[in-house]
Chain A
């Protein structure tokens, strides 16, 4: 049933969405807040973050894990997995898809993670240091490792198809979706895909993020301003975005209530100079975009909008604009570009998946979400969307970058 060579004739479509985000619990709540341009960045108050360089983040304040995870599972999992399980439940319900009713080997789980169960690990590490190794609990091993969310989703829903956990930092969410499409093409019928991240609520996680200069010292909730002349850094965030990706044929066979978008193309490149030094040029991003378009068999002129990575640093923004110009030519100047993550922060493994979700809903509703906090656009040739804008969208491009040199691009289209 799983073939080693992908069959490009098997088309991959998005049939369900689930979102846990700083500006909304549930897809429609988050999307409505997004179209309104609501800022979800707040001071970190879950612990005393005053001595850390990162003091602002997109946080999901009203997430109640008990509503989604029973106690037996809750004590052996991290917050990041709770969010992933919650978003999965939402996506499956949205798609009216029940994995239990399918052949177990025909449903896969492919999610991205960037820091694993860091909050769970923080507690266990404190015990280790203060009381020694026997004070570390039994579940540390399975709660922290990067595959925990994929694994627990797979166990809960009985999905035994080829599954994985992908780590590509901020590009992971798109990488997971690209791999989901590849897996569909190899014969699987459905993939629970996307990403989750919860790394803004404990000292250890914040310390790990200090190595990224792009996150230095955001001075307020509006400090993350991609493509603005005053761009001086980004803020991190937590959340989860899960998309159900199905084979178009099987979605039609089961009379899926909705086919929201098709994943037409995907590509990824890697060009970090060193783990903590960004790429020195835009070639890696440009190549990812070009290859994604080639993979989609789509010309630059067919792209109607770009959901940009939006580094929020002057150099990072400059490189992305260069990459768009290189890959899309003159058409880049006519394209609306937007960065809805300005409202929730950079969500690491969830970022690409949440941007893809925004792109899917933009296609559905024919409306582009805004980029917020921008007062002085830095690039005259860039059509930056700063208020929700109606647009007859047919094909859109999503770009994502991860610290350490990860680049990914995804092409999505309205279903045909």
Chain B
């Protein structure tokens, strides 16, 4: 049985809980850079932290470059989950 992927809904929950970005403040287009919705570098660290706590993967500090937009986070986390599984 395959582990469910990391979904946009899960990301949305993390953005709400750990960054304080309410659903209606989150971008409709998942390719929108987080910077465009006002997330600064510390907010990105908070997002990385939220992913670590929720997904039980470790996010090395240097991987912040993968947290530029919702799409990039979804891609990154799903790739990491696949690596962990295999």
Contacts and interface: CB of A to CB of B under 8 A. Distances in A.
A137 B20 contact: no
Contacts of B53: 135
B81 interface: no
B46 A139 contact: yes
A72 B19 contact: yes
Given A134-B52, A138-B46, A71 B58 contact: no
B22 A142 contact: no
Contacts of A73: 20
Contacts of A75: 18-20, 46
A139 B53 CA distance: 15
A74 interface: yes
A76 B18 CA distance: 9
Nearest to A139: B46
Nearest to B58: A134
A140 to B, nearest CB: 10
B6 interface: no
Interface string B32-67: 000000000011011011001100001000000000
A230 B35 CA distance: 61
Interface string A53-90: 00000000000000000111111100000000000000
B21 A138 contact: no
Contacts of B20: 70-76
A373 B21 CA distance: 47
A135 B48 CA distance: 12
Interface residues of A, number: 13
A337 B84 CA distance: 71
Interface string A372-391: 00000000000000000000
Interface in A126-149: 134-135, 137-139, 142
Interface residues of B, number: 15
Nearest to A141: B42
A74 B46 CA distance: 13
Nearest to A131: B53
A289 to B, nearest CB: 45
Contacts of B21: 71-72
A135 B52 CA distance: 9
B52 A142 contact: no
Contact of A138 (B16, B22, B42, B58): B42
Contact of B42 (A70, A71, A142): A142
Contacts of B46: 75-76, 137-139
Interface string A148-177: 000000000000000000000000000000
B45 to A, nearest CB: 4
Contacts of B45: 138
Contacts of A70: 20
B66 to A, nearest CB: 16
A137 B19 contact: no
A72 B16 CA distance: 9
A364 to B, nearest CB: 39
Contacts of A135: 53
Most buried by B among A76, A135, A138: A138
Nearest to B44: A138
Given A75-B46, A138-B49, 15 more contacts: A70-B20, A71-B20, A71-B21, A72-B20, A72-B21, A75-B18, A76-B20, A134-B52, A134-B58, A135-B53, A137-B46, A138-B46, A138-B48, A139-B46, A142-B42
Query: Which 7 A-B residue pairs are closest in the complex by CB-CB distance?
Result: A72-B20, A138-B45, A138-B46, A71-B20, A75-B20, A138-B49, A137-B49
Interface of B: 16, 18-22, 42-43, 45-46, 48-49, 52-53, 58
24 contacts: A70-B20, A71-B16, A71-B20, A71-B21, A71-B22, A72-B19, A72-B20, A72-B43, A73-B20, A75-B18, A75-B20, A76-B20, A76-B42, A134-B52, A134-B58, A135-B53, A137-B46, A137-B49, A138-B42, A138-B48, A138-B49, A139-B42, A139-B46, A142-B42
